[in-house]
Amino acid sequence: MHIDGNTILDAQGNPVWLTGANWFGFNTTERVFHGLWSVNLYDTIDQISAHGFNVLRVPISTELLMEWKNGQAAVPSGVNTYANPELEGLTTLGVFDAFLDASKEAGVKVILDVHSAKADNSGHFEPMWYAGSITTADFYDTWEWVADRYKNDDTIIGYDLENEPHGTYKATPRAKWDGSTDPDNWKHVAETAGNKILAINPNALILVEGIETYPKDGASWNSTNEDDYYTNWWGGNLRGVADHDLDLGSHQNQLVYSPHDYGPLVFEQEWFKGGFSQESLTEDVWGPNWLYLHDNDQYPLLIGEWGGRVGEDQRQDDWLVYLRNLISEKKISHTFWTINPNSGDTGGLLLDDWTTWDQEKLTLLDPALWQDSNGEFVGLDHVTPLVGGTNVTEYYEDGNTAPVS
């Protein structure tokens, strides 16, 4: 895949719409998908495919990648081999490769996301791509190793370089975005990592998230005045692209920007206080922080995380509908957070038994999933359709219109 303006294209030049979800666990202490302690991997992937999710964003950690790279992958304790006889005796890397095979059979594509430096259930709270003994050099080296290992497997279509780099103006350390080569400059690190990956696999999409805070016009990163900064969700502030775009050289057409956005049940941001609408969110939050890249036809967006509980809070429900409407109206790619019911902030698409699907969330999401004129879910593979759906070749052969705004 590659990009043209704000559109993601396949190898034949057809526009595609990535409409997926997240499934976490490889990033955590368990070092494997959560839920495999009770459900079968292959059955779950088939269900994900059958419900119309054509791509999975899979959080992982640099620490686990280092273990894989160094031949230190262990057999995980979080796999119930009675429910998963196919996985018995496999290491964490073996389970990941089995997941790729299952995804290939079900027509589901994969985006790999370095969610944290450490394999830790709380690792994502760290603001940077390095932590403790894990360095920026490790971050680069492991991305190169992954790119090389899977360069000939188009089940993995993209690499989300780092989950939610963040930090406020007064935090130490904190991720910034400018034209420097400073160690804390996320723009420079993302540019370096992206170019390293593309030197190995020039066909991969490079997904780059934003940061948390960015100086207002006339202010600098040296300011200690809170009023001198714009603040957004972790990973959701892409204002810096307007001033300091990433440079991927001859592979600039592989770049996708990937903000995150959440509702008031996750955190009571200032823009939720006193009431809000789709128009106010678009004008005050989404537009200046990231939507401008789509609306100016500069880059495609993939909203890597959005989601939340349904039916518990009217403002939360309103926010979900407003962002769903924006996604479906503009055909913005996205991966919903999350499959896992054990996400404390949001709940999951699966309920606590890891088997039953949340029908309210599926109904909410339906307009934001790629479907053909007959209501069949469209997969990204040219050969293997989604379970019960169709593939991108058949979609275009049947004369459906391109999924672009």
Closest to 254 (Cα-Cα) out of 290, 210, 186, 208: 208
30, 63, 212, 305: the catalytic one is 305
Calpha distance 190→187 (Å, rounded): 5
Calpha distance 223→287 (Å, rounded): 25
> For residue 394, what are the contacts with CB-CB under 8 A and spacing of at least 6?
385
Calpha distance 109→53 (Å, rounded): 9
Q: Is the pLDDT of residue 405 over 80?
A: no
What is the pLDDT of the chain when averaged over all its residues?
A: 97
112 beta partners: 58, 159
Q: Is the pLDDT of residue 214 over 90?
A: yes
- Give the model's pLDDT for residue 331: 98
pLDDT one-digit tens code per residue, 66-118: 999 999 999 999 999 999 999 999 999 999 999 999 999 999 999 999 999 99
Mean pLDDT value across residues 183-197: 98
- 3-class SS shares of the chain: helix, strand, coil, % to 5: 35, 15, 50
30, 63, 164, 212: the catalytic one is 164
pLDDT one-digit tens code per residue, 344-365: 999 999 999 999 999 999 999 9
Q: Which H or E run contains 160?
A: strand 156-160
Q: Is the pLDDT of residue 134 over 70?
A: yes
Q: Is the pLDDT of residue 122 over 90?
A: no
Report the share of the chain in percent with pLDDT over 90.
Answer: 98
Helices (H), 206-313: 240-243, 278-281, 292-295
Structure tokens given for 384? 């293997």
pLDDT one-digit tens code per residue, 236-289: 999 999 999 999 999 999 999 999 999 999 999 999 999 999 999 999 999 999
For domain 2-397, the question of CATH label 3.20.20.80 is answered with yes
Structure tokens given for 387? 């379970």
Structure tokens given for 30? 């368990």
Respond yes or no: is residue 268 known to be catalytic: no
Respond yes or no: is residue 164 known to be catalytic: yes
